[in-house]
Structures are given as structure tokens and as C-alpha cells.
């Protein structure tokens, strides 16, 4: 019986590359591809894959919240988080969300197959670079990374985090309501609760919070350049 893998990344070119990489292995098949976290959850419910590979920076619902929701839905889901972000905060959140593997996109060609093999053998997989980061975080802070020491985020409910991401992506309350099948009034209530819980006063504050807490990621212009690159940073997913 084949090992069935669901891929979630908003860039089709990345999915193509991952597919090419994974389907070289006999006995593995990519059973579905999702382009955002919400779609990944719907597809996972239907397809019941053996492994779900999720990119962190996805629109509508980021990879960390997708992982949290998948594990809440069914703790037997095996999720590998794929990311360009290698901060120890992201690693901590991925572990806390219940990911079984953590692979940097830059290392994916080398490590993703090993990560899926580890999951197949009921083990976890973290790249050497991630292991170093975790160890360094432990040494720097003098304490271990623990699932219990969860940070700022859990004060928001899963729904509030979804609303936070969508508002930080620039969507209006009405647009959020449409996307989440809620009434505009309910979204506005969520919005007030989020602002109150986080002591924020404006959408600008909310965007800053979302960036700082990896709910959305910021795309920077290239640097350094011989001539000044004047493009402003844009909020996006990678």
C-alpha cells in the first residue's frame, strides 16, 4: 500500500519541485495539493493522508495554525512543517503545534525525503540546522524548549488567530466574514476581542503583532544592491 502525502504550499512551482522530489520514491504518492491552509484542512479531512507537508507562509491560514487545527481535528495526522524561517520561535511554535518534522526549504531537496522516511518509521525529523538552533536556544536562555511554555499566542482562540491573519493580510471585516462563513457582526466581535486581549489600538498594531508572531511573514526587497532599491516591504507569504 502506498504512502499517501498531501502537499500544502501556495506556490505551484514549489509544489512541482516537491512532487518531483517525492514521487521519485517508489511506494510514495502525492495524493493531493493545497494552495493554502484552509484548503489543506479540507483536503486532509477528505483524503486522510499518511503525511501532510505544510509550508508556514500561506495565505488565509498559515502553516502553524494549519498544523494546530489538523492535530486538534485528528491527533494521528503526521505533519511536516516546511519553512524558510529558521528562528527558534518558529521552531518552538511548530513543536508546540504538534509537528513531527521541521525542514528548511533551503534544505528540502536534501532533507524532505529523510523527513518523510522518519515519519514512515514513526519517528520525528529535525534537520541538523534545526537541532543546532534548538540547542543554541536552550544554551542561550538556560531552559529547554517545552510544549508547556507556550508563549503569547494561545490567549487567542484558533478562530481569533484565523481572523487576525486575514485582517493583517488587509481584508475587511466583510471579506473575512465571507471567507469564514460568518456574519460581519461576528467578525467584528472577534476583532474587538482580539484587540482587547492583545491590547492593540489599530490595524497597524495588529499587522505588527501578526508579523512578530509569525502569523504572516514579510517580504523584503533584495539587498544589498549597488544602487538603492527603493521598494517598500510588502506583506506576503513565501
Q: Which three cell numbers stand for residue 237?
A: 507569504
Min dist CB 11 to another protein, Å, is 5
17 binds another protein (CB under 8 A): yes
Instruction: Point out which span in 90-98, 101-109, 150-158, 175-183 binds another protein (CB under 8 A).
Output: 101-109
Lookup result for grid cell 489538523: 70
Separation of alpha carbons 43 and 132, rounded Å: 34
Task: List the interface residues with another protein, window 35-94 (CB under 8 A).
Answer: 84
- Asked whether the beta carbons of 77 and 71 are under 8 A apart, the reply is yes
Using a CB cutoff of 8 Å and minimum separation of 24, what contacts does 190-199 make? 190/159, 190/160, 190/163, 191/163, 191/167, 193/160, 194/156, 194/160, 194/163, 194/164, 194/167, 197/155, 197/156, 197/160, 198/155, 198/156
Please say whether the beta carbons of 206 and 227 come within 8 A: no
Query: Binding residue for another protein (CB under 8 A) from 41, 58, 108, 167?
Result: 108
- 46, 87, 106, 152: residue in contact with another protein (rule CB under 8 A): 106
Residue 170 touches another protein, criterion: CB under 8 A: no
Any contact of residue 230 with another protein (CB under 8 A)? yes
Smaller CB separation from another protein, 202 or 225: 225
Residue 221 interacting with another protein (CB under 8 A): yes
Beta carbon nearer to another protein, 142 or 224? 224
Q: How far is the CB of 207 from another protein (least distance, A)?
A: 18
Burial (CB < 10 A; 0-12, 13-18, 19+), residue 231, is: exposed
Phi/psi of residue 234, each to 5°? -125, 145
Q: Residue 40: what are its φ and ψ, rounded to 5°? A: -60, -40
Q: Give the nearest distance from C-beta 150 to another protein in angstroms.
A: 30
For another protein, which is the closer residue by CB, 5 or 156?
Answer: 5
219, containing H or E segment: strand 217-219
How many of the other CB atoms lie within 10 Å of CB of 202? Answer: 9
Given the complex with another protein, which of 9 and 50 has the nearer CB atom? 9
Instruction: Please identify, among the stretches 45-53, 142-150, 204-212, 221-229, the one whose residues bind another protein according to the rule CB under 8 A.
Output: 221-229
Report if residue 19 touches another protein, rule: CB under 8 A: yes
Residues found near another protein in the complex (CB under 8 A): 10-21, 84, 105-106, 108-110, 112, 219-226, 229-231, 234, 236, 238
Amino acid at each position: 500500500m502506498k504512502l499517501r502525502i498531501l502537499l500544502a504550499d501556495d506556490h505551484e512551482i514549489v509544489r512541482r519541485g516537491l512532487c518531483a522530489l517525492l514521487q521519485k520514491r517508489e511506494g510514495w504518492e502525492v495524493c493531493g495539493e493545497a494552495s493554502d491552509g484552509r484548503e489543506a484542512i479540507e483536503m486532509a479531512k477528505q483524503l486522510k493522508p499518511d503525511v501532510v507537508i505544510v509550508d508556514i507562509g500561506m495565505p488565509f491560514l498559515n502553516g502553524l495554525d494549519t498544523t494546530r487545527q489538523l492535530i486538534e481535528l485528528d491527533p494521528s495526522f503526521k505533519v511536516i512543517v516546511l519553512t524558510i524561517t529558521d528562528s527558534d520561535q518558529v521552531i518552538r511554535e511548530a513543536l508546540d503545534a504538534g509537528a513531527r518534522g521541521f525542514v528548511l526549504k533551503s534544505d528540502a531537496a536534501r532533507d524532505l525525503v529523510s523527513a518523510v522516511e522518519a515519519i514512515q518509521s514513526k519517528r520525528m525529523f529535525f534537520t541538523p540546522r534545526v537541532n543546532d538552533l534548538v540547542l543554541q536556544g536552550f544554551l542561550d536562555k538556560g531552559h529547554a524548549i517545552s510544549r508547556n511554555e507556550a508563549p503569547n499566542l494561545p490567549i487567542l482562540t484558533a478562530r481569533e488567530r484565523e481572523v487576525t491573519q486575514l485582517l493583517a493580510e488587509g481584508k475587511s471585516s466583510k471579506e473575512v466574514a465571507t471567507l469564514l462563513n460568518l456574519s460581519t457582526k461576528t467578525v467584528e466581535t472577534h476583532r474587538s476581542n482580539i484587540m482587547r486581549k492583545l491590547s492593540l489600538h489599530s490595524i497597524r498594531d495588529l499587522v505588527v503583532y501578526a508579523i512578530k508572531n509569525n502569523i504572516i511573514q514579510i517580504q523584503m526587497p533584495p539587498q544589498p544592491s549597488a544602487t538603492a532599491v527603493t521598494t517598500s516591504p510588502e506583506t506576503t507569504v513565501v
